[in-house]
Structure 1
């Protein structure tokens, strides 16, 4: 592959003339700011950014990268843990200028730009009393989260984000533009609902939204010493609970405000709840939680966007992040023992472990309905080492790896792709299981030369 340095400068000037958006080069004054992503541990140096503002810009950028044999990365919200929205010395096609949210209240559908963040979507849908299932941080990009699956507060009630995707506009590797849905390019529509950015660049999404204005939610904490008992109870409770109740279980340290001072810098086993049902029935539904006598509870009614932004302040862009993940069929006692051990050894206040339930609406599609092969798993688990200081990068990485090594024998194999770093082809295959072969065939049809490979890559099936 060529690098940008190998190109005649006149080619870049010609590209500029085809764009409404801007080009950012290493010589540009805003280059270092432009190459920042959510994970401060990522320090890649692209040769060229194309800051797209419309579909025509994306087409021009794709054609430029393909014709000149450049490495291409695609960046939406920039949240990817492994920094797969960037590449060294190649071309980054940046979608952050393609932003719009259009709500159709006649059908409760929402069209969203490929560069939008979820907080922007929530801002637009909330006045209409509508939600689209997403994650738990509002600064996450719509594109990356959706294409990988989309696990979050509303998964048990409304399914994964991909279960609510109706249509997408895409620019393919050959520079062509297509709209995909259940009747137009249905094979490609199947592939993008979990298959990541392997198949093209999505410039617009169309989602089914659901009526929901407020939720009852927030955290409950127990001392880390109670981890084994709380995890055993949670494992027996959450999957049988009404679908209106969701909660993800965590090992964590309370880092500081807005939590009360007596909790600061202490380790806990926590559950963050989100209830979408009738407020009058909440006390009855939540009674089994209170029977576990949490050490701390801060659960109350709030607008849906408020729970989506609950952790934004503690997790601003630019922190050091290291991720490891797996799916789990249950929380075995031996695994809970490891959670207690490593939860007691959390190296920095922001490092933590989460396990998100995959039940209720999220478990109803079959393992073949979308590429998301672990519909029968009970949890998508993730361990994150997080800290502001680069000097702690090895500390958080070592803890994260050791925690993962201890838990992996109790896992069901692969991992939710949005929770993975750049971990290689075998981990990707394990994460798609029986769906990988079909994904590879569709990749061969739409991107036979693997132009879009800076991702959790699915290699084209050999002819």
Structure 2
């Protein structure tokens, strides 16, 4: 079926309610139009991949999660610059064609970074890492991977507040906020961004900083793909030679002491800003065994820092801790390899021993300190809204990785069931459940943007209308967490949850 280029969005120009009302499921691109747009973009110098080509298959197979590989876009377009992204977005907006945006391809559910029958804009050729010693900043292409960023910066004795898994893409992590090893000292990864280069819906290429288009700058720090396509991210860098880190592995019997240590660490981590950890329970189906693992990263390079004393008093059956580098750490922490169907689900809870004991059946836990929001504010603020949390908490994430689509459906239902039971238990405590939902760990069913708070959602909607009055990124880019899906009644229900 050939699609008409007659968009209805102009009839609702300038009102977000109108944009939301026109959100539709776009039909697949007809073969005749597919060839037309492919030839047009190719003539303008873009690399365009069709389903019968080897490079198309290679890009499809390079997704981290199997669910993304099952979607078959009519075209994959691989720009090399902001100017080429501008050409693509103008062509798609003018012809009312649906599209997806891919940076590293690391999303856990369908439709975020790939699309059935539409156009996938693949940013995998935007991978530069350009260090500027005069400004102590680095320009990053959104399609790069964090492992390459760290390895390049290590040559200059520098690091950046980036991802903790080297296989994750730069753009996706930043646009979702981004937990990093430097969280307690510097805030979210997005808080170290000093400038975004963005291609807007009309194809214009703009920059957004704390002093120029500051409204756009702020909402891009956690607002995902609702405003434009980010084509360059300039971040602060800082000196960091060695870190102390690695993994300790424990048997299930260590759980009570480890939970006590985790709660204590979370209470005091604002006093130990260089000490970071991740806390995992992993069920190994083959062995029918639950393993507790703790990942340490002490970014000042202090071996066995006092912040970890309660953990270090426990006896691991394996210890990989050593003086190392951030680049080596992210290589070692390959805890979620590619080639599986993945279910992620996240819950934020009060930092309480009883709740964490109940939650110990979940997979991983991270401190969620209100202190982090103060670090964010010092860096110009973001749109995430964790300053609204009434108490310090822990961010829990359940990750299930299976081999088949049938197992995935079963795993998803069990994940939601378990998260519901945990929520019910934690809700019996004052402030036991915290409303904030971390986008990069969330399931598609979760109310991520709503959890940022009513004022922040209102601000995001205003910015979306200002920079995308025809609602291109709401109507034509359906993947991920969309402002057009946020209902006013949800804001009251989610944002006032205690």
1:364 aligns with 2:352: no
Spell out, residue by residue over 1:191-245, the C-alpha distance to the aligned partner (whole angstroms, 9 max, x if none): 1011111111111010001211211111223332443442233112233141111
Match of 2:207 in 1: 179
1:267 aligns with 2:290: yes
Does 359-368 or 383-392 show the bigger shift? 359-368
CA change 1:159–1:447 in 2 (3 A) is same
Match of 2:466 in 1: 445
Cα distance in structure 1, aligned partners of 2:41 and 2:301: 55
1:396 aligns with 2:422: no
Match of 1:34 in 2: 59
CA contact (8 A) 2:184 2:274 kept: yes
Match of 1:134 in 2: 162
The partner residue of 1:82 within 109, 116, 123 is: 109
CA change 1:445–1:124 in 2 (3 A) is same
Cα distance in structure 2, aligned partners of 1:113 and 1:179: 14
Q: Secondary structure at the match of 1:143?
A: helix
CA change 1:395–1:10 in 2 (3 A) is closer
The partner residue of 2:438 within 413, 416, 435 is: 416
CA change 1:284–1:30 in 2 (3 A) is closer
The partner residue of 2:393 within 364, 378, 383 is: 378
Spell out, residue by residue over 1:247-271, the C-alpha distance to the aligned partner (whole angstroms, 9 max, x if none): 1112114699xxxxxxx76312322
Q: Secondary structure at the match of 2:473?
A: coil
Cα distance in structure 2, aligned partners of 1:255 and 1:283: 34
Match of 1:315 in 2: 336
CA contact (8 A) 1:117 1:138 kept: yes
Deviation at 1:14, TM superposition (A): 1.7
Alignment of 1:197-276 (within 5 A): 197-241=225-269, 242-253=272-283, 266-276=289-299
The partner residue of 2:309 within 287, 291, 296 is: 287
CA change 1:292–1:3 in 2 (3 A) is same
1:105 aligns with 2:133: yes
Does 443-452 or 177-186 show the bigger shift? 443-452
Cα distance in structure 1, aligned partners of 2:376 and 2:160: 21
Match of 1:50 in 2: 77
CA contact (8 A) 1:244 1:277 kept: yes
Cα distance in structure 2, aligned partners of 1:386 and 1:372: 27
Cα distance in structure 2, aligned partners of 1:455 and 1:6: 26
Match of 1:456 in 2: 481
Match of 2:97 in 1: 70
1:326 aligns with 2:320: no
CA change 1:252–1:322 in 2 (3 A) is same
Q: Secondary structure at the match of 1:380?
A: strand
Spell out, residue by residue over 1:417-463, the C-alpha distance to the aligned partner (whole angstroms, 9 max, x if none): 11123226x4431245541111111111112333224221112999x
TM-score normalised to structure 1 length: 0.87
CA contact (8 A) 2:400 2:411 kept: yes
TM-score normalised to structure 2 length: 0.82
CA change 1:403–1:431 in 2 (3 A) is farther
Cα distance in structure 1, aligned partners of 2:235 and 2:182: 14
Deviation at 1:295, TM superposition (A): 4.6
Cα distance in structure 2, aligned partners of 1:130 and 1:362: 22
Aligned residues: 440
Q: Secondary structure at the match of 1:4?
A: coil
CA change 1:323–1:229 in 2 (3 A) is same
Cα distance in structure 2, aligned partners of 1:284 and 1:291: 11
Does 162-171 or 1-10 show the bigger shift? 1-10
